Amino acid sequence: MNTLVLEIPATAGNGRNSEGTFFRAPNGDILYAYSRFNSGDAMDESGCDIALIRSSDEGDSWSDFSIIASAKDFGVSNIMCASALPLADGRLCVYFLIREKDGTSTVGRVISSDGIHFTPERCTWNLPSAYYVIENDRFIRLSDGRVATVASQYPPNGGGPATVVAIVSDDDGKSFHDTKAKCTLPFNEPVFGLEEPLLFELSKDVVWMLARTICSYQYQAFSVDGLSGFTPVEPSVFTSPRSPIVLLRLSDNSILAAYNPIPLYNGRTMRINAPSSGRTPLVLRRSKDNGKSWGSLYCIEDDPMIDFAYPSLFETKDGSVLCAYWCKYGQGESGHIMRITKCTPIPD
């Protein structure tokens, strides 16, 4: 059964709530950090901080928000796209993208020992100056202990297709550098390229990269050499509009995917008075063989007049799943959290 346990509505002074990440506090609370835009404008470049809400009952109810990272702490107006990943010593850590005043981007983080008090700091960004996009829930720890992510790197002027670059930290996230491993589409698509990519470790020897495209699929590549390089880019099993996917390894070792499965294509009917990005329905899909095959679709949201995207997944103690996501209808861009109970038959 699906239950909408929270809506974080847009308001005149808070035009968007989205791109979040779940994690657990030392006292057992579930925490959810997300991008909270602090004006009525919901554009990516608008003012934005990282907000936090908490649940003490495994996601059934949620607190009011607090700000755990303010853009002004970093001398900018916008920080966004939260990704939680514990430090090696067990302390809590949330990474996010910093939109610099010169149009480039870097990475910052907040650290906490108790899930209540958070200390902000800049990560040292040892990469070429450029505009990078790293979406929510995109930082992972590899089997060798390194912190890793992937970014879409855009040309300095912001135009032209994006290239995926692999980024790692050898010092537990204090500093980041690229590995020289890059991915591009294997054909000429001059506008978008590979966008909002993710990394997912299938085994200690295989890391999976998925990225949204305008080509009706999530495209994929694999690294079998510790992110020194990638295999040739190809379409994955996931059909998709220009919208991201997220993956979660569950406690039973299966993999859960959340994404939009219906691509835009010639002849598809556009919706009237609604966004036309194709970001509906939002579905779950499960693999019980480490990504080799995937079950049929389980729908979370399917309103044809609303867009749903930028999901984040979390497994509760009783085996239920929380799915947070962005919801756009008319001028509003709210955040939703859906609870999918353990007894829900997500197909194998």
- Structure tokens given for 328: 């756009």
1 versus 233: the higher-pLDDT residue is 233
Q: How far apart are the first and last CA of the chain?
A: 17
pLDDT, one tens digit per residue, over 2-56 is 999 999 999 989 999 999 999 999 999 999 999 999 987 778 888 999 999 999 9
How far, in Å, CA of 134 to CA of 150, rounded? 7
- Binning pLDDT at 50, 70 and 90, where does residue 304 land? confident
Residue 227 C-beta-side C-alpha neighbours within 13 Å: 30
Which residues are within 8 A (CB) of 158 and not within 5 positions of it... i.e. 6 or more apart?
103, 131
Q: What is the mean pLDDT of the chain?
A: 93
Write down the pLDDT at residue 135: 98
Positive or negative torsion for Cα 252, 249, 185, 328:
positive
Only one residue has tokens 């958070």, namely 118
How far, in Å, CA of 169 to CA of 94, rounded? 15
pLDDT, one tens digit per residue, over 110-167 is 999 999 999 999 999 999 999 999 999 999 999 999 999 999 999 766 677 999 999 9
Q: Taking Cα atoms as reference points, which of 142, 132, 90 lies closest to residue 108? A: 132
Write down the pLDDT at residue 158: 65
Phi, psi for 36 (deg, rounded to 5): -115, 105
